[in-house]
Amino acid sequence: MDSASSSSRLTSFTRNGLTFDVTDAGPLDGDIVVLLHGFPQKATSWAGVSAQLAGHGYRTVAVDQRGYSPGARPRGRRAYRLSELTGDVVALIDRLDVGPVHLIGHDWGANVGWSVAAHHPERVRTWTAVSVPHPAAFSRALRSADQARRSWYMGFFQIPLVPELAIGRTRWGGSVLLARSGMEAAARERFRREIVQGGALPGALGWYRALPFVSPTPRVRVPTTFVWSSGDSAVSRRAAELCAGYVTGPYRFVELAGTHWIPDQQPTAVVDAFLDGVTRSR
């Protein structure tokens, strides 16, 4: 497919020899919303959000990001630097060739989305971050014992091979820990099928292993909505509340009850927050 348009679906795109899978849904002539998944999930985690956005007339483009798409699994942790992940999303937006898009990201997808919105504001109409605040807010919160305790796994993921073995080959390393975080059974089964059995786990862990190479993310000036749940096991209230200090444009904080897995469990809340953000940006 040479171009994305109102008469054709985008199923994949390429950047620097890597091929990324895309799920393109909703009315072809609708305003485009690019959806960025987090760890350890793929574009399928947006199914509920995408279906509801289609009902509101939006076209959604959900990408299986670097390490997750079978054709985009480079070796070496430097290949998973935030600058590369950001470049992949910019390439997707440019491939769509429709001007600025609405952007929604969850978990690691939110981290990437913050970077896209900060470094490439001309490509983003509105930005909706789900669960994870601006990277600088998260870094500040890490100085607290509460956030450091919640983020223990980030250090564990730096160890070569051991996380792959623990997560991929033991019940404790995968399903039990995800269940404790509030992930429901259907999503945990999807994780085993798509991430572990699908061979995406090493690339997914590469995002964490590239953290030593991260450069600062500037403040964001595009219209921004941040959605966080009070029962999030990975992100503290302090991290969530610090987020406002890193947005210079219109900003709204939406607090929900529930777990970290908001797109799966509360798609209506995500869509409502997004639609409100669009209305406020006009």
User: Which residues neighbour 201 within 8 Å (Cβ) at sequence distance 6 or greater?
Assistant: 40, 164, 167, 168, 195
Distance CA 39, CA 107 (A): 7
Residue 131, pLDDT score: 98
* pLDDT confidence of residue 14: 98
pLDDT of residue 165: 87
Q: Is residue 37 part of a domain?
A: yes
Residue 155: per-residue pLDDT: 94
Mean pLDDT computed over 252-260: 98
Residue 239 pLDDT exceeds 70: yes
Q: Is residue 6 part of a domain?
A: no
**Does 50 have pLDDT greater than 90?**
yes
CATH code of the domain in which 32 resides? 3.40.50.1820
Q: Is 89 helix (H, G, I), strand (E, B) or coil?
A: helix
Q: Which tokens go with 6?
A: 């109102």
The reply to whether 2 falls in a domain is no
Q: Per the domain annotation, does 113 fall within a domain?
A: yes
Range list of H helices, the chain: 47-55, 82-96, 108-119, 135-141, 145-150, 152-156, 162-169, 177-180, 185-190, 201-209, 237-242, 262-265, 267-281
Pairwise CA distance, residues 162 & 179, whole Å: 20
Is 5 within a domain? no
Average pLDDT, integer, range 90-116: 98
Tell me what pLDDT residue 172 has. Answer: 55
Domain that holds residue 172: 12-281
* Mean pLDDT value of segment 95-106: 97
Give the mean model confidence (pLDDT) for residues 182-189.
94
Is residue 127 within 8 Å of 113, Cβ to Cβ? yes
Averaged pLDDT of the chain = 95
Under the banding of pLDDT at 50, 70 and 90, the label for residue 112 is very high
**pLDDT for 166:** 85
The DSSP 8-state label assigned to residue 119 in this structure reads: H
Q: What is the pLDDT of residues 190-228, one digit of tens each?
A: 999 999 999 999 999 999 999 999 999 999 999 999 999
Of residues 214 and 71, the one with the higher pLDDT is 71
pTM exceeds 0.85: yes
Q: Please count the other Cβ atoms lying within 10 Å of the Cβ belonging to residue 23.
A: 19
Residue 6 pLDDT grade (very low, low, confident, very high; cuts 50, 70, 90) = low
Q: Look at residue 211 and tell me if it is in a domain.
A: yes
The number of folded domains in the chain is 1
Q: Retrieve residue 23's tokens.
A: 């799920």
- Asked if pLDDT for residue 15 goes beyond 90, the answer is yes
Over residues 129-180, the pLDDT tens digits come to 999 999 999 999 999 999 999 999 999 999 999 999 888 766 655 678 899 9
What pLDDT sits at residue 2? 37
Q: Looking at the domain assignment, is residue 7 inside a domain?
A: no
| Residue 254 counted as domain residue | yes
Give Cα 155 to chain centroid, integer Å. Answer: 20
Q: Distance of CA 56 to CAs 4, 93, 272, 275, Å?
A: 21, 21, 11, 9
Per DSSP bridges, beta strands 124-130 and 101-106 are: parallel
Report d(CA 36, CA 65) in Å as an integer: 8
Please return the burial class of 192, using the count of CB atoms within 10 Å of its CB with bins 0-12, 13-18 and 19+.
middle
pLDDT for res 1: 34
